[in-house]
A and B are shown apart, each in its own frame.
Chain A
Amino acid sequence: MTEIVVVGGGLTGLLASIFAVDRGAKVTLVARGRGGLTLSHGCIDVWGKATPSRALSRLRMSHPYRLAGAESLRTGLEFLRDLCHQADLPYIGNISRNLRLPTALGTIHTSALAPKSLALGDLRDNTPITIAGVDGFRDFYPELVVANLLKAGIAINDALQLPLPLSAARRDPYAMDLARSFDDQHFRDEVARIWKPRLSGIKRLGVPAILGLFNPQLAHEELQERLGMALFEIPTLPPSLPGLRLERLLQRKAMEMGVFVIEGPKVLGRVDGSAKPARVSGVVLQTAGGGRTLTADIVLLATGGVLHGGLVFQQNGRVQESVLDLPVSYDEGRQHWTAYSPLETQPYANYGLRVNEQMQPLGADGLPIYTNLFCAGGLIAGADRSGEGSRQGIGVATAYRAIEAALG
């Protein structure tokens, strides 16, 4: 049985682990912290700027999508969609037409796949929309959403504020706190009772994404039925529920399928010095008791870019890969790394490891550095995922391709 160590517990690492275990490998997932899903809208962005199925084939050859191949993206997405469906968190959408979802700022988020409770807000559907905030929640502003959507020419009815049957809190609630309340059947009954008379005549209602963490599908369907209207969620400031729901689903699924998960330690790579061509022999976990070696036939890095520690940007103007000090493609000198505005494309976002079509990190000579080392997700060079609206799509496609190449 092939033993594989996956480093990184974000969307990419979790999916790669699941793909690998599905192909019969023995998988250990080592996660130092949490990935980006807590910050995310929970959708699968594939290509936000245009129709993904058409745009992707025109990208430059060094783009992660081109290297991973269209088939990896399609199969990976299909796999993910089935997984979510089985776990009662259905995802809607496809790569031949992006969904157009309202954001908490009243702008439009184009995405390929979204959880059903978000996808019902699709602005291509002409059912009139009302946006509601909930009392005491500082991370969602319905009037701003409505004003900006109107400005963008979207037919939208009104903004309103709805009460919640909560006792006075000792601190401001996060989306997570409210979601925990919505997990409770009695709370939902009470909400439906209070909200119903205030919502007469409304066809489609958008609320902040707070409708439960543990069984969101049930909470959503139940409320929708009780209120008698289409109900959709809009992701809020982090911690963002739709992302957390997906994270939780993947973690449970991975463990259920037999992935062994180790949380906490920092990870360093271990190279087999005698092998020709060069190989990695596993990883060393920096645990409380000292280094602990984990041998593996295959190592997959899904450690992410700047945010999650896969790439370390140093004061001396260099960028280092954190597990094996692999060669990174970047501009030397930190004056080149950022752009004038946070909303523009950022040079640093494109930095990372150069890989081949098997997702193997390449050396300066263009050849794989270690025959049994693969990588996926935010660590790979050549894409500004925020600017392109491609973050999750790249994660899915490269994770799928890397596992496919590693395990055949």
Chain B
Amino acid sequence: MPEISTQLLVIGGGVTGLGVAWDACLRGLKVVLIEQNDIGQGTSGRYHGVLHSGARYAISDPGSAKDCATENPIIRHIAPHTIEETGGFFVSTPADPIDYPDRWFAACHEHGVYVEEIPTDLALRTEPSINPRISRAFRVLDASLDSFELLQTLVVAIQRAGGQVWLRHRLEDLTLQGDAVVGAEVTNLTSGERITIRANYFVNAAGPWVRRIANLAGIDIPIALGKGAMIALASRPVHTIINRCRPPSDGDIIVPVGTVAVLGTTDVEVESPTELAIGQREIDFLLAQCEILLPELAKSRPLRAWAGIRPLYRSSGEGFGRTRGLPRGHVLLDHNDRDGVKGMASIFSGKLTTFRLMAEQAVDLVVEQIGVGLSCRTAEIPLDPERTQFFQLPKRFEEIATPDQTEREQIICECEWVNRSAIEEAIKSSSSLDLDDIRRKLRLGMGPCQAGFCGYRAAGIAYEVAPSPHTDGRLEAFLRARWRGLRPLGWGETLRQMEITRRIYVDLLHTPETQEPPQ
């Protein structure tokens, strides 16, 4: 079995793991990161897109509020290209508790979270489609943050700094020598090959899988998995992030991000990290709650629904199903201190906004334990934007709209303006031929037609670029992944769109079904 050694092995290719790997690279450590699927396929790629100001947690979770307030300007400094300056409002609707805003306002001040009360008519002039009956309005420093852009930037930064990011590598087992973790058995899921990775230290940043990974070292971490569902609208009825001014609960935020607006979220405890199905009642509840913020919501077309899993630390022995009450702050477990197992730490929970701080604290621990490494520099060194604001439509438009018509490029995905060469490049640079990986890189198929047109085109281009006998099921898998996000919203206009997809791929193209069992 091939064997490699490194100083630090990071398990998990979400924002936490990538943050840890980036931080460690800057401190001069030799780093390998393994991810069982694709970058951001777990929780990081399934969030609503808010760079939190901290205001949301001022009362319920002051620790998180403070962390968000400190990290917010740092993220703006190091990754401005991932951020759209939407600003944020907290508004009190007639359905919200009347005494809450004053308590909340005081708590924000106490914990250093910027908040400013503004006249309600100013809020309504800025955002005419929100509920005209709001009684209070506050401005906060929320912004929308494209996690795919941030994750891709981190991958490139890590690779340029000499770190390695291995996708589609699954951790099978951890090897212990005495009371220390010393090695990891890993399967390359593309080739089937087994590899041993020896490392001085292991950071478990596997998100919802954090408990499963810890178990491999004989350690138990009591966690609860809180599923949060979100709905993207096919339009942006607001351009500011709108929060309801009330204790955190279901359906209290609308986030304009890219071409869509995201309604979030719910909180339902689930048993497994892959339990991502969304119930009809979750959808109805989310829409009904957000309709209070946005009375004309019913006129917008829901585009897609998805769910992400928050791994929450169940420190207090709360019963199953009570995830809303669990703290959202991040947790760093030194398994030497806690369990007497050397060479490994777990870092999980927390917010996307606080990923850098989480990484800093985790790598501080790594450096302390292995005795080498510089001090943290992630707060000062901006991430080199790989393709500046590539995920924002105006930037894409600039890229595509050349005055010289002879060099005009084919637009393959018209909803998201993805051109042919971007797809060709993504296929060439990727080890997999999965169209869904290309989607995460380029936003292919994420617009209103949900791959109805571009799915066929991308399959055709993929074949031309990388002719492969293993093309069976590639298109169906992509269509099915898109369909999964449409099904919870399968009524009215969305169902009509789904039927168009069917007319194209069944009636017209006779796309073959593969015999993959349902998940």
Chain A residues close to B by CB (< 8 Å):
36, 39-41, 45, 103-105, 107-109, 136, 138-141, 143-144, 147-148, 151, 168-172, 235, 237-238, 240, 305-307, 312-315, 317, 333-335, 337-338, 340-344, 346, 348-349, 385-387, 389, 391
Contact = CB atoms under 8 A, between A and B. Distances in A.
A315 B507 contact: no
A253 B475 CA distance: 40
B503 A386 contact: yes
A39 B406 contact: no
B509 A107 contact: yes
A172 B463 contact: no
B510 A342 contact: no
B236 interface: no
A342 B480 CA distance: 6
Central interface residue in A109, A312, A340, by most chain B CB within 10 Å: A340
B490 A334 contact: yes
B503 A144 contact: no
24 contacts: A36-B503, A41-B508, A103-B509, A104-B509, A107-B511, A109-B510, A138-B412, A139-B456, A140-B460, A143-B460, A144-B459, A144-B460, A144-B464, A151-B469, A168-B406, A237-B504, A313-B492, A338-B495, A341-B479, A342-B480, A342-B483, A342-B498, A342-B502, A348-B495
B487 A105 contact: no
Contact of A340 (B467, B471, B504, B518): B518
Interface of chain B, main secondary structure: helix
A342 B505 contact: yes
B217 interface: no
Given A104-B456, A147-B467, A168-B408, A313 B509 contact: no
B272 interface: no
A165 to B, nearest CB: 16
A314 B502 contact: no
Nearest to A240: B508
Contacts of B500: 39, 307
A148 B453 CA distance: 19
A148 B518 CA distance: 25
B28 to A, nearest CB: 47
B173 interface: no
Contacts of B460: 140-141, 143-144
Contacts of A305: 499
Interface in B451-494: 453, 456-457, 459-461, 463-464, 467, 469, 471, 475-476, 479-480, 483, 487, 490-492
A344 B496 CA distance: 17
Nearest to A107: B510
A143 B467 contact: yes
Given A36-B503, A313-B495, A342-B506, A143 B410 contact: no
B420 interface: yes
B288 to A, nearest CB: 10
A321 B408 CA distance: 46
A46 B480 CA distance: 27
Contacts of A315: 284, 287, 491-492
Contact of A314 (B463, B467, B491, B511): B491
B490 A39 contact: no
B193 interface: no
Contacts of A349: 502
A341 B483 contact: yes
A338 B488 CA distance: 9
A136 B509 CA distance: 21
A337 B412 contact: no
Listed from nearest, the 10 A-B pairs whose CB atoms lie closest are A141-B460, A107-B510, A386-B506, A105-B509, A144-B463, A307-B499, A313-B491, A343-B513, A168-B405, A342-B483
A343 B463 contact: no
B280 interface: yes
B511 A343 contact: yes
Contacts, number: 149
A303 B91 CA distance: 44
Contacts of A334: 280, 490-491
Contacts of B513: 341, 343-344
Interface in B372-408: 405-406, 408
Contacts of A343: 476, 479-480, 505-506, 511-513
Nearest to A141: B460
A109 B500 CA distance: 18
A315 B495 CA distance: 11
A354 to B, nearest CB: 21
Contacts of A385: 507
Contacts of A306: 495-496, 499
A172 B411 CA distance: 7
A161 to B, nearest CB: 10
Nearest to A343: B513
B487 A141 contact: no
Contacts of B507: 39-41, 45, 385-386, 389, 391
A313 B518 CA distance: 25
Interface string B198-238: 00000000000000000000000000000000000000000
Given A141-B461, A338-B498, A235 B508 contact: yes
Residue with the greatest number of chain A CB neighbours at <10 A, chosen from B503, B507, B511:
B507
B492 A333 contact: no
A306 B453 CA distance: 20
Contacts of A389: 507
Contacts of A104: 456, 508-509
Contacts of B518: 340
B36 interface: no
Contacts of A240: 508
Nearest to A342: B483
Given A141-B461, A335-B280, A342-B479, 6 more contacts: A143-B467, A238-B508, A306-B499, A307-B503, A342-B480, A346-B502
A172 B410 contact: yes
A45 B502 CA distance: 16
B442 to A, nearest CB: 15
A386 B513 CA distance: 13
B501 interface: yes
Interface string B111-134: 000000000000000000000000
A214 to B, nearest CB: 23
A138 B420 contact: yes
A239 B512 CA distance: 22
A238 B504 contact: yes
Q: Quick one: which of A144, A240, A312, A314 has the most chain B CB within 10 A?
A: A144
A392 to B, nearest CB: 10
A12 B287 CA distance: 37
Contact of A40 (B457, B476, B508): B508
B457 to A, nearest CB: 6
Contacts of B499: 305-307
Nearest to B499: A307
B252 to A, nearest CB: 21
Contact of A143 (B411, B463, B475, B496): B463
Contacts of A39: 500, 503-504, 507-508
B496 A105 contact: no
B280 A333 contact: yes
A386 B504 contact: no
B195 to A, nearest CB: 33
Interface in B341-396: none
Contacts of B287: 315
Contact of A338 (B284, B464, B487): B487
A38 to B, nearest CB: 10
Contacts of A314: 491-492
A36 B412 CA distance: 24
A318 to B, nearest CB: 9
Contacts of B469: 151
Nearest to B483: A342
A377 to B, nearest CB: 14
Contacts of B405: 168-170
A240 B505 CA distance: 13
Contacts of B284: 315
Given A39-B500, A168-B406, A341 B476 contact: yes
